[in-house]
Amino acid sequence: MASEMTASDTTAPEITAPDAIAAPDTVHGGRLVARRLKAHGVTKLFTLSGGHLFSIYDGCRDEGIHIVDVRHEQAAAFAAEGWAKVTRQPGVAALTAGPGVTNGMSAMGSAQQNHSPMLVLGGRAPAMRWGQGSLQELDHVPFVRPLTKFAATAESTAAIPGLLDDALTAAVTPHGGPAFVDFPMDQVFGEAPDPGEPAPLPDPASGPQADGGALERAIALLRGAERPVIMAGTDLYWGHGESALRALAEELRIPVFLNGLARGCIPADHELFFSRARATGLKGADLALVVGVPMDFRLGFGGAFGDETEIVVADRVQPVREHPRAVAAELYGGLTGILDDLRRGAGGSGKDHAGWAGQLRVAETEKRDAERAERADDRSPLHPMRLYAELGEVIDRNAILIGDGGDFVSYAGRVIDSYEPGCWLDPGPFGCLGSGPGYALAAKLAHPGRQVVLLVGDGAFGFSGMEFDTLARHGVDVVGVMGNNGIWALEKHPMEFLYGYSVAAELRPETRYDQVVEALGGHGELVREPGELKQALARAFEAGRPALVNVLTDPTVVYPRRVNLA
């Protein structure tokens, strides 16, 4: 068991087999876990094999929950978060005791900052031996509590169903996030009665009405605005608010900008959607309706808006951090209801925003036209923009694209268009590399008939590249497209700008990661010239197994970003 190897002679946890004949009115703890998960709609359990988890595996096998095993626990936990991101239902991972749980903590941190509802089940050394030095004995709860909304240890077999109800309720209650429960071996191998069906989990699309006074202020501001914009983000997606947002934008003719998981909630070819003109729009707006997105570094801590821009904030719950600048109104509750109330209240104001939208469309078009030279660049190694121009011609409208990398994915975030919700997954504000293969695994299992494309940097591949073995073993035909420039570009270029040199920023040039994927059971392609790319992509999509198109990209290309470490 890979996660259980130690330097001692004991390499497996102490396992006591359950009684051969169970009492007729009881079931073992692992089956209680599985039944509770199934009752809450869980169909997949992402894991890496561990002896502390055998009872849970046995229960899942009996209850028909698909066990999907990976090569590193971080991938199991990222797959659980990825499942949540593409289904808007809780994803579940099971991690063995000690290093299994700690290996999954980065994904818990990611889910916390992305508000992704997920449940992590942990193995745990036996309670009856606690403090005596059992294999992988660790009190996980103090470690994971800062990263989770709920963290607890099962104190008895009978407590298991109620703990899972509480954990899943916490995971989906706004703001969503990760929850954690671990199970001492003697408890999860023990027996207890099944208490029956649980109460349903909270509806993530519902919520209280916004404060009436704040709503009136927001409506008045919308009715009076000459240059309004909407800036929406991840919690719009979690709150199922895309239809209400579109109706509001269309009735009031308000330009829309999106980031995070909100990408695709307004199709990229909608007349009111803008991406390249975001700086112009946010700075020039007299009113910004900020929906489901914090004013963090992605919005310049509020500085992305003009000094005179009035800001109305709408979200599912009040944020834990104070806003970095004053806001005119705060609306918290069910986003669909809030957006519908704003539409009904501000509709029919007689304001004509056609001139404002037209001004932004001119800026949008100019920015896109300015990209043409890079998108047609014939250099070898390739410019990342040429790669994305070619990729854009072979992906479907509902393809799910997953970003796992630095500068390579920064270009993708700038130029890849999304047309449906849940089609763009990146690490989010936690910025954790290595999330991509887990996300891709979950996305393809959830949507087997759709293209799933993993955009991966050569640096990011080093975190989770072995998960191509997982994809191959489970028959998951994800297509990976790698930007291979042989450096840590988002570190090398800024450091050279600051100091005139860089350290710890070099990778091996032209490494054949495609051959690694072939050795793991996948399809590999190497692309050196722009003319080779389109056919390589076509072969990868037709391969019927996981694929990696390893594209050599120019290490001298500098992503256009100011040096800002704040």
Domain CATH number, residue 27? 3.40.50.970
Element (H, E) at 531: helix 530-542
Check whether residue 216 and residue 179 sit in a common domain.
no
- 132: confidence class by pLDDT, cuts 50, 70, 90: confident
Domain that holds residue 534: 371-552
pLDDT digits (tens, 9 = 90+) for 217-246: 999 999 999 999 999 999 999 999 999 999
pLDDT digits (tens, 9 = 90+) for 478-519: 999 999 999 999 999 999 999 999 999 999 999 999 999 999
- 430 and 113 Cβ atoms separated by less than 8 Å: yes
42's tokens: 């869980």
- 185 and 52 Cβ atoms separated by less than 8 Å: yes
Give mean pLDDT, residues 47-74.
97
Element (H, E) at 525: strand 523-527
pTM for the model: 0.94
Q: Rounded distance, CA 262 to CA 276, Å?
A: 16
Which of these three, 332, 366, 400, is where a domain ends?
366
pLDDT digits (tens, 9 = 90+) for 443-472: 999 999 999 999 999 999 999 999 999 999
Does residue 205 fall inside a structural domain?
no
Around Cβ 58, how many Cβ atoms within 10 Å?
17
Check whether residue 131 and residue 223 sit in a common domain.
no
Peptide bond into 175 cis (omega under 30): yes
Q: What local confidence, expressed as pLDDT, does residue 349 receive?
A: 77
Q: Does the pLDDT at position 475 exceed 50?
A: yes
Give mean pLDDT, residues 34-57.
97
Mean predicted lDDT score pLDDT of the chain: 94
pLDDT digits (tens, 9 = 90+) for 242-255: 999 999 999 999 99
Check whether residue 225 and residue 362 sit in a common domain.
yes
Q: Does the pLDDT at position 19 exceed 60?
A: no
- 322: confidence class by pLDDT, cuts 50, 70, 90: very high
Does residue 486 fall inside a structural domain?
yes
pLDDT digits (tens, 9 = 90+) for 98-112: 999 999 999 999 999
Give mean pLDDT, residues 20-38.
83
Q: What share of the chain has pLDDT > 70, as a percent?
A: 95
Domain CATH number, residue 295? 3.40.50.1220
Q: Rounded distance, CA 498 to CA 520, Å?
A: 40
Check whether residue 402 and residue 524 sit in a common domain.
yes
Which of these three, 325, 341, 366, is where a domain ends?
366
379's tokens: 């250099």
pLDDT digits (tens, 9 = 90+) for 282-300: 999 999 999 999 999 999 9
Check whether residue 24 and residue 71 sit in a common domain.
yes
Check whether residue 251 and residue 293 sit in a common domain.
yes
One-letter amino acid for residue 382 of the chain: L
Check whether residue 347 and residue 421 sit in a common domain.
no
pLDDT digits (tens, 9 = 90+) for 143-181: 999 999 999 999 999 999 999 999 999 999 999 999 999
Check whether residue 400 and residue 268 sit in a common domain.
no
pLDDT digits (tens, 9 = 90+) for 67-120: 999 999 999 999 999 999 999 999 999 999 999 999 999 999 999 999 999 999
Number of folded domains that form the chain = 3
Give mean pLDDT, residues 192-203.
95
Does residue 71 fall inside a structural domain?
yes
- 374: confidence class by pLDDT, cuts 50, 70, 90: very high
pLDDT digits (tens, 9 = 90+) for 378-424: 999 999 999 999 999 999 999 999 999 999 999 999 999 999 999 99
Check whether residue 271 and residue 335 sit in a common domain.
yes
In angstroms, the Cα distances linking 381 to 215, 374, 385 are 54, 13, 12
Check whether residue 329 and residue 380 sit in a common domain.
no
Q: What local confidence, expressed as pLDDT, does residue 563 receive?
A: 40
